[in-house]
Structure formats: structure tokens, C-alpha cells
Amino acid sequence: MSPDAYPVNALKLWVVLNRAARSIEGALREQTERHGLSLTEFAVLEVLLHKGALPLGELGVHILRVGGSTTYLADKLERRGLMVRRPCTEDRRLVYAELTDKGRALIEEVFAEHAGHLAGLMGGLTPDEQATAADLLKRLGLYAQTYPALPPLEKEAPEAPPVS
């Protein structure tokens, strides 16, 4: 494809989206780290604050992490006394993650600051523009999930080893 045939708007949108996301994420990371939490640890505590106790596997879905990393996060937060694991009484295969009093106190404080900081970071857009941007980005994300995958690359057959 020649450079003048590139989809300039799509390329520019990708760059702008990534730069905006990195800027916002960097500011949010700095805010949570002031309280001794990584963004992912904050996400775990925030989900437990707003959803209540959840099975560990479901927790991973809410924070967009895979099982092994969810277990690692749960271990770290449990060692710090911010959450506990509680076995399910009806199904012994399930283990719930639940905030401790210490974890609840911390996340309530950090989340209040976080929400205000996030509102400030989004202040470059009016509330109506924020709603429009959220709608457009949601539509873009849903479309991208259904976009057909690229076909596999055709690989050249490996050369046969020399015959001795």
C-alpha cells in the first residue's frame, strides 16, 4: 500500500487514543501509588467496594486480568490485610474475595480522591462531550470485537537440510 493510500483518519485516531489513554493512566497511577496501591490493586479493591464479595475467578473478569495474576494480586492484598478469602458454604470449589475493614477504609478514601482526580483529568471536555466520546468509543470497541481476524501468514516451506 502506498503512503497516500493509508487510512490517515484511522491512524491518527489510534495515535490520539493511545496518547490520551497513556496520559490519563499515568496521572491515575501516580494518584493510587501515593496511597501504596498499584492501579491493578486499586481496581481489585474498587470492584470489591462497589460489587461486594466476589468469587476470585469473577474478580479477574471485572479487572480484565487472567486467573494466575488475580491469585497473585489476592495474595498481595491479603498479606497486607486489605482483603480476605472466604470459602463458599454451598460450593467448596468457590472462594470469595472480600474486603477487610482496613481494606474498606483505604479504598473508600482513595476512591473519593480518585473520582475527583478523574473528573479533573476529563475536564478538557464538557460533560456532553464526555458522554459523546464514551458512546463513540464504546461503539468502536464493540465493532472492533466483531471485526474479522487476519488470515494466518503463509510461511515458506523450510529448506531441507543438506544431504551428507
**Do 56 and 71 contact (CB within 8 A), yes or no?**
yes
- In the three-class reduction of DSSP (H, G, I as helix; E, B as strand; rest coil), residue 85 is classed as strand
What CATH number has the domain bearing residue 108?
1.10.10.10
Q: How many domains does the chain have?
A: 1
- In the three-class reduction of DSSP (H, G, I as helix; E, B as strand; rest coil), residue 83 is classed as strand
- Give pLDDT tens digits for 34-43: 999 999 999 9
Distance, in Å, from the CA atom of 50 to the CA atom of 57, rounded to the nearest integer, reads: 17
Distance, in Å, from the CA atom of 39 to the CA atom of 15, rounded to the nearest integer, reads: 23
- The reply to whether the predicted model has a pTM over 0.85 is no
Does residue 142 form part of some domain?
no
Does residue 139 form part of some domain?
no
Does residue 1 form part of some domain?
no
Query: In the structure, what pLDDT confidence band is assigned to residue 5 with cuts at 50, 70 and 90?
Result: low
Distance, in Å, from the CA atom of 118 to the CA atom of 121, rounded to the nearest integer, reads: 5
- Give pLDDT tens digits for 84-138: 999 988 888 889 999 999 999 999 999 999 999 999 999 999 999 999 999 999 9
